[in-house]
Structure 1
């Protein structure tokens, strides 16, 4: 009887150990490769094709690892999936990663997600302030007293709008703020119900392109001095230019700022695995470029620009070897 009890106890211990191993980290078994989940975004966006290409790089170029890309609601959902251990990698805007890591903005009511780590920044998500060309709004300062669409409540766009306005000494009490998505804001611009709208996205942005086919639009610049002030407070921003011709009748480059789409990983993934995956990513950038035009923006030289998280040790080791 005692021997039977001992065998049963050992069986229970073995079962608990197996369940713990499955719950922690990538799904690795002695019979096959580790299986990784990659959170991306909606199927109509940029994150989904780039995340799919990243998964393909892992599947084709990294030994003993397989990956599957999953369509999600993008950045805010992705940080929660990553924090909960439901996925291993995720595409997330660098400002959203920062808010999650520090427990600020839309994450102020939850515990800081300190298990997030950076792998690489990918391409700029440009802060665009759109008005109609027949308006007299030509600078951010001209938004005072105007009706401005600042993004959906609690969104990354709304945080960007508030930060940009604050850098210019403008608060929400100085404007008439409407909490609208850009799809809603575009209709409001057409109807004259708002005079300007904030948007954060890769350029050219389809919604702006569509608006510009029926209405002449102007992109309001964020001057370099103000961009520097913003970056001093929020270092996840970068200064960028929207090239002339990005939108119909856009005759000149426009100065603005951007956050960065970035590849993020959970802290507990093995260093050697993340090193091998980071190395494979930058040795096969053509696969990203083939998946979406934004993939062509991903280059090793800017892989840590705007990085808002501590690098995962595996990624840090690769960059050190490459002289970054």
Structure 2
């Protein structure tokens, strides 16, 4: 009798494939869930609120924009009226603003419906300049009582800080004329003699500071109560400005002066992707780590002096530097590997126990096939006990031959050889009973 053509493990291959189907489906589900719900890919666009045109905030943002562009991130710069405006935009749940510059200590409490932003740290000092016109030197804020004072435009941190300091010194709208005007207009009115004093925040090398310091009719308030004021307002700093700092050639100011300063804080929404926070920290470090006129090298960026909660990602950056992968790999590749790792963790949690179960699933499929043959054989034995007629015997033999043929052609693992031989013996046993149907 010619043997049937050899089929190289077709049934075994089929059993192996069907044993792997649950593994494949669960792995697919795990990857889909991880891709959609675990650490989505960072966006390629951020929106930052700065301040008025030509402010230091604008300069900082332009520097960030260039650095982020190297990693394919677009930074959209939007002007505002100042720090309070920025804070309000960051707290507004309907705003698309991602980050903005604030002034430390000047952020008003948010309401229950607003989202409080997180801090990435302070990036620079913001000196408070008070220029005034008077014959006698002014060294205290209280000596401005009765004057016409420009305190900064609406929505600016300058106005809020000026009001706090003047109120603490007994100067208010009842005994003085306080005007909420911007720095450019305030400077023009001061030079024209229409106001007596102006509060504004700016760098020593800013055009307005240079212009007012050079005017012979204008003086800079040299604050002799700075030490006491910073005790009452802990978010403020006492700055000592050496003579000549504003302009060495013209020795401006002509003597050492003492100023107050707050710090500029870069704040973000808590929804900003952690990978982008790391890039922002890198941009902050490259922009602000060098020495400036008012600070030493590596003094900024800093996690000190913030009245907002510090971002966990920023805190990790201050302690350990940039993430390991971002130190040596391009941003897109480091982010891809990070996301892949987050996908693999839940995937392994599902696959490890399932892989262990694969041999059991495979063995169950093999046993199920053998048990099915035993079931067919048992059915024939049951019919034998019912005393089949002579006309039914050929049909039963044909059914038995069919079972035997399937067993002979089956390609089963060697571990199941014993089950196969036992099944063949049972087939022979039933065959003998069929051939002698009336024998018990």
| Distance of 2:155 and 2:63 partners within structure 1 | 30
SS for the counterpart of 1:309 is coil
Q: How many pairs align?
A: 278
Comparing 175-184 with 123-132, which one deviates more in the overlay?
A: 175-184
Residue of structure 1 equivalent to 2:230 = 231
Structure with the bigger percentage of strand? 1
Residue of structure 2 equivalent to 1:320 = 319
Pairing 1:206-285 to 2, within 5 Å after superposition: 206-223=207-224, 226-245=225-244, 246=246, 249-274=252-277, 276-277=278-279, 279-281=281-283, 284-285=286-287
Whether the 8 Å contact between 1:46 and 1:294 is mirrored in structure 2 is no
Residue of structure 2 equivalent to 1:70 = 77
Query: Is residue 2:75 matched to residue 1:82?
Result: no
> What do the CA deviations read for 1:76-104 (whole angstroms, capped 9, x no partner)?
343343334513222232244x22xx14x
Alpha-carbon distance change, 35 to 161 in structure 1, aligned in 2, over 3 angstroms: closer
| Distance of 1:273 and 1:139 partners within structure 2 | 45
Residue of structure 2 equivalent to 1:92 = 102
Whether the 8 Å contact between 2:83 and 2:155 is mirrored in structure 1 is no
TM-score (norm 1): 0.71
Residue of structure 2 equivalent to 1:305 = 304
Cα offset for 1:273?
4.2
Residue of structure 1 equivalent to 2:33 = none
| Distance of 2:116 and 2:308 partners within structure 1 | 10
| Distance of 2:155 and 2:281 partners within structure 1 | 36
Whether the 8 Å contact between 2:284 and 2:301 is mirrored in structure 1 is no
| Distance of 2:130 and 2:275 partners within structure 1 | 43
| Distance of 1:42 and 1:266 partners within structure 2 | 22
Cα offset for 1:207?
1.7
Query: Is residue 2:51 matched to residue 1:49?
Result: no
Residue of structure 2 equivalent to 1:203 = 204
| Distance of 1:285 and 1:140 partners within structure 2 | 34
> What do the CA deviations read for 1:146-199 (whole angstroms, capped 9, x no partner)?
232222345322211122123334443333323333323223323333222211
Cα offset for 1:279?
4.9
| Distance of 1:295 and 1:233 partners within structure 2 | 22
SS for the counterpart of 1:255 is strand
| Distance of 1:298 and 1:87 partners within structure 2 | 31
| Distance of 1:211 and 1:191 partners within structure 2 | 12
Whether the 8 Å contact between 1:51 and 1:91 is mirrored in structure 2 is no
Pairing 1:166-205 to 2, within 5 Å after superposition: 166-205=167-206
TM-score (norm 2): 0.54
> What do the CA deviations read for 1:211-268 (whole angstroms, capped 9, x no partner)?
3444342111223xx4344434443222212332215541122112112122111112
Larger Rg: 2
Q: For structure 2, list consecutive stretches of 5 or more residues without a partner in the other structure.
A: 1-35, 322-440
Structure with the bigger percentage of helix? 2
| Distance of 2:112 and 2:218 partners within structure 1 | 41
Alpha-carbon distance change, 144 to 35 in structure 1, aligned in 2, over 3 angstroms: closer
RMSD of aligned C-alpha atoms? 3.5
| Distance of 1:190 and 1:281 partners within structure 2 | 38
SS for the counterpart of 1:172 is coil
